[in-house]
Amino acid sequence: MSEYIFKLPDLGEGTVESEIGEWFIKVGDTVNEEDVVGTMMTDKAAVELSSPVSGTVVKLAGEPGDIVAVGAALVTINTEGTADEGRVTGATTEEPAAAAATPAEAAPAETAPAEETPAEAVPARVITSPAIRMRAKEAGVDLALVQGTGPGGRIVRKDFDRFLKARATGTADTAPQTPSDAVKEIKIIGVRRIIAERMQAAKREIPHFAFVEEIDITELESLRKHLNAKKDKADRLTLLPFLGLALIRALREFPQCNVTHDKDRNLLLQHEAVHLGVATQTPDGLKVPVVKHAEMRSLEELAAEIRRLSEAARTNKARKSELTGSTITITSLGKLGGIVSTPVINSPEVGIIGVNRAVDRPMVVDGQVAVRLMMNLSTSFDHRFVDGYDAAAMVQRIKEMLEHPATIFLP
């Protein structure tokens, strides 16, 4: 028997080992060259790996959640009777597309429409792997009809196989609901494991200092609506780019907040550039895509880049370089923003700015009670390196600009 040993390749950034995220194959399956066999998790990405040969799967390195060293056997494939017969070892050199992981948040994805759409144009909101999308296209299946049981409703291999079986037998895709005391064990792997580890480390190592301030955004909201009046729905401005511009201007006066902590060298790295992290909620967990050199962008450019990166993070299309290198982060719970939150600092940064829900409140203005649109900013700072006075002063500067939005655009 001629066997090809597909070894785990170097996934970049000095990776020496990787966690098995998900298999799209099992022992006994026939695979073709370039078929996606599974995903491997690094600290920053879920990387899809393709088979470099055709043949029959003989052995897999382990189960999802298991750790595999770079250069170790990942998949053993019997190539007997194929053009690859005689090749005994190797590893793919093609760099697969990557998605990513980290903390924070943004607006949730839209719900799926009730009516069918062609399988050739599967909407981005259907979360699944490229391999399953290809199978669906070949089988003429609308993935919007398949019930996903993975994280965030992700359609995994067993979901698609169950749907095909149900369609072939004419039975319903889902079993009837019955009372059950069953307990499902969910292995903490992949993106969720990385988020858990980083959150725990951030809270254990960083003494968080929280500061909350209420802001009257009545004039800002009026400006936002005015600018959006002639825009397409997809291009309309949210509050985030305005907050981003105000934060960038404030950091010029408080550069000690645009800092990352190199704990290995016991250094603070004060950055000239503002690489703005935008915490985004995705089906896989919280991720932080990064707007590089946000200080060089206009309002429209900043808004467009936030939209692009947030969508790329939600659909697992963000590159690894777009998910690293932030110097300060903005996080928003959108309509779920509540009154106050205590955002966790995105290490190695020293500050994070959290946006809460905007609501109409009765306020005293010039001695008269008036209805104003009010919003709280909930911020956290690393108290080892940012003094409370400086943190409060920076937030007050942001408040001043947001309450008088014309000042955001002054030279």
3-class secondary-structure state, position 151? helix
The whole-angstrom separation of Cα 77 and Cα 61 is 12
Tokens representing 211 are 């500061």
- Which of 208, 387, 390, 404 is the catalytic position? 387
| For the chain, counts of helices (H) and of strands (E) | 7, 19
Angle at which helices 130-139 and 157-169 cross, to 10°: 10
| Residue 61: closest CA among 52, 71, 53 | 71
| Residue 311: closest CA among 38, 123, 137 | 123
CA 323 to chain CA mean position, Å: 8
3-class secondary-structure state, position 189? coil
383 is catalytic: yes
CB count within 10 Å of CB 272 equals 9
- Which of 366, 383, 390, 404 is the catalytic position? 383
3-class secondary-structure state, position 43? coil
Beta-carbon contacts of 92 under 8 Å, excluding residues fewer than 6 positions away, are 6, 9, 49, 50, 51, 52
271 is catalytic: no
Yes or no: say if 240 and 258 are a contact pair by the CB < 8 Å rule: no
Buried b (16+ CB within 10 A) or exposed e, 159-181: bbebbbeeeeeeeeeeeeeeeee
Report the DSSP beta bridge partners of residue 374. Answer: 216, 359
The whole-angstrom separation of Cα 343 and Cα 107 is 16
Q: Please report, as a single letter, which amino acid is at residue 41.
A: M
Q: Which residues are catalytic?
A: 383, 387
